[in-house]
């Protein structure tokens, strides 16, 4: 009698989506038993779709995205949904010193290095594999960053697993190993708008963060080294409040690293985003010590190939980029970001989408 293996839980389907750097690019669709959908491409590891229900059960995409690969390849793509590395966020003056040697990076942001340089992990084709676990199928992406790439030392082997669970949560699990000391800071740069495109901006979204402190920055958004309390400032989200309430006090918008009450060893709830009109909520948990709140301050409606031809303007979405702190290689008081041979970089972030 022939046995038929039935895949339970999340299922993944793939389709060809084009090519880049002479390699095939695929779009992977993850579907759980509730009908929740996540779409991810192996170009930059970008999340292109998270379709979750509102309080009436209507599924809508809650991330800013392009409708085809050319959108992600275009100049000016603001890292929609992508994986960021080798070092997420900024490194001051595009340089750091490690073991007595200075390393020079690409100065691609006001004289600083941003998000891994000119061709960071968001602009490479990752090797993709669909794997099986007891809860269903996972998408495993792998990339080998060679010694000297974008100025960073050491060969770095990176694995990122995307998992869509039965409780409507997207898990992102990061691992990396190296053969030489190197800074590592990996994150995901998805822009969220829980209205599913009904609201042109996120100013009516409510945000709550378990973050009593933030890293002060100068006019170039480089940390001064000071860790300051949020109490009494526009950065205080310890109690839920609408994004639009204080955003004009931090013009051009929020682009700040918040210090989490997290020891970095366990997965911990750090806050939530809520859209009252739809009832959609996004709860965030992470092992990381920080989270960058970015409110899409520089979108201006000019992007091509956008999802359903939407014009993404300022504040169209927000990012909650779980991470280590900006410029940590130059800030000895910040949590360590230097990965050494024989060590395993391991971080996890979960975005869960209940309805309220």
- 177: phi then psi, degrees, rounded to nearest 5: -140, 155
Position 157 confidence tier, pLDDT thresholds 50, 70, 90? very high
Of residues 168 and 266, the one with the higher pLDDT is 168
Domain assignment present for residue 5? The answer is no
Position 261 confidence tier, pLDDT thresholds 50, 70, 90? confident
Domain assignment present for residue 338? The answer is yes
Distance spanning both ends of the chain, measured CA to CA = 48
**What CATH number is given to the structural domain containing 298?**
2.70.98.10
Taking residue 29's Cβ as centre, other Cβ atoms within 10 Å add up to 18
Q: How far apart are CA 349 and CA 283, in angstroms?
A: 11
The number of folded domains in the chain is 1
The two structure tokens encoding residue 83: 């994986």
pLDDT at residue 354, as a whole number: 98
Q: How far apart are CA 132 and CA 129, in angstroms?
A: 10
Length of the chain: 356
pLDDT at residue 263, as a whole number: 64
Q: How far is CA 320 from the centre of its chain?
A: 7
Helix, strand, coil percentages in the chain from 3-state DSSP, rounded to 5: 10, 45, 45
Average pLDDT over residues 224-241: 98
pLDDT at residue 135, as a whole number: 83
pLDDT at residue 264, as a whole number: 64
Q: How far apart are CA 39 and CA 28, in angstroms?
A: 6
Say if strands 11-20 and 255-259 run parallel, antiparallel, or are unpaired: unpaired
pLDDT at residue 5, as a whole number: 42
The two structure tokens encoding residue 84: 């960021």
Domain assignment present for residue 3? The answer is no
Domain that holds residue 160: 11-352
Using a cut of 0.85, tell me whether the model's pTM lies above it: yes
Q: How far apart are CA 276 and CA 312, in angstroms?
A: 21
Taking residue 58's Cβ as centre, other Cβ atoms within 10 Å add up to 11
Residue 196 makes CB contacts below 8 A (sequence gap 6+) with 54, 58, 60, 61, 62, 278, 280
Residues 51-107: tens digit of each pLDDT: 999 999 999 999 999 999 999 999 999 999 999 999 999 999 999 999 999 999 999
Domain assignment present for residue 93? The answer is yes
Residue 299 makes CB contacts below 8 A (sequence gap 6+) with 78, 312, 313, 314, 315, 316
CA distance readout (Å), 79 to 46, 113, 176, 346, 349: 8, 15, 21, 22, 18
Domain assignment present for residue 6? The answer is no
Domain assignment present for residue 2? The answer is no
Positions annotated as catalytic residues are 189, 321
């Amino acid at each position: 009698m022939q046995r038929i293996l039935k895949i339970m839980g999340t299922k993944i389907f793939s389709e060809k989506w084009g090519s880049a750097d002479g390699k095939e690019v695929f779009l992977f669709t993850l579907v759980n038993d509730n009908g929740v959908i996540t779409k991810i491409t192996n170009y930059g590891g970008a999340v292109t779709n998270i379709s979750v229900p509102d309080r009436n059960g209507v599924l809508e995409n809650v991330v800013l995205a392009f409708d085809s690969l050319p959108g992600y390849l275009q100049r000016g793509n603001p890292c929609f949904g992508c994986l960021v590395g080798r070092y997420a966020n900024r490194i001051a003056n595009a340089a750091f010193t490690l073991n007595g040697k200075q390393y020079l990076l690409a100065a691609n942001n006001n004289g600083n290095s941003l998000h891994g340089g000119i061709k960071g992990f968001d602009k490479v084709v990752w090797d993709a594999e669909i794997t099986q676990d007891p809860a269903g199928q996972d998408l495993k992406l792998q990339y080998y960053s060679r010694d000297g790439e974008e100025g960073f030392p050491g060969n770095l082997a990176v694995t990122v697993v995307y998992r869509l669970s039965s409780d409507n949560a997207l898990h992102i699990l990061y691992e990396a190993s190296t053969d030489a000391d190197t800074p590592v800071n990996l994150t995901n740069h998805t822009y969220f708008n829980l209205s599913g495109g009904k609201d042109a901006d996120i100013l009516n979204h409510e945000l709550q963060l378990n973050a009593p402190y933030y890293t002060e920055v100068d006019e170039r958004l480089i940390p001064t080294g000071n860790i300051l309390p949020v109490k009494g400032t526009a950065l205080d989200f310890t109690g839920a409040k609408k994004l639009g309430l204080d955003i004009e006090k931090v013009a051009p918008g929020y682009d700040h690293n918040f210090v989490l009450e997290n020891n970095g060893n366990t997965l911990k709830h750090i806050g939530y985003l809520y859209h009252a009109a739809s009832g959609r909520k996004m709860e965030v948990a992470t092992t990381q010590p920080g989270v960058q709140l970015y409110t899409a301050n520089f979108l201006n409606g000019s992007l091509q190939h956008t999802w359903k031809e939407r014009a993404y303007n300022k504040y169209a979405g927000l990012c909650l980029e779980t991470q280590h702190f900006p410029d940590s290689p130059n800030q000895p008081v910040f949590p360590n970001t230097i990965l050494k041979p024989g060590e395993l970089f391991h971080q996890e972030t979960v975005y869960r989408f209940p309805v309220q």
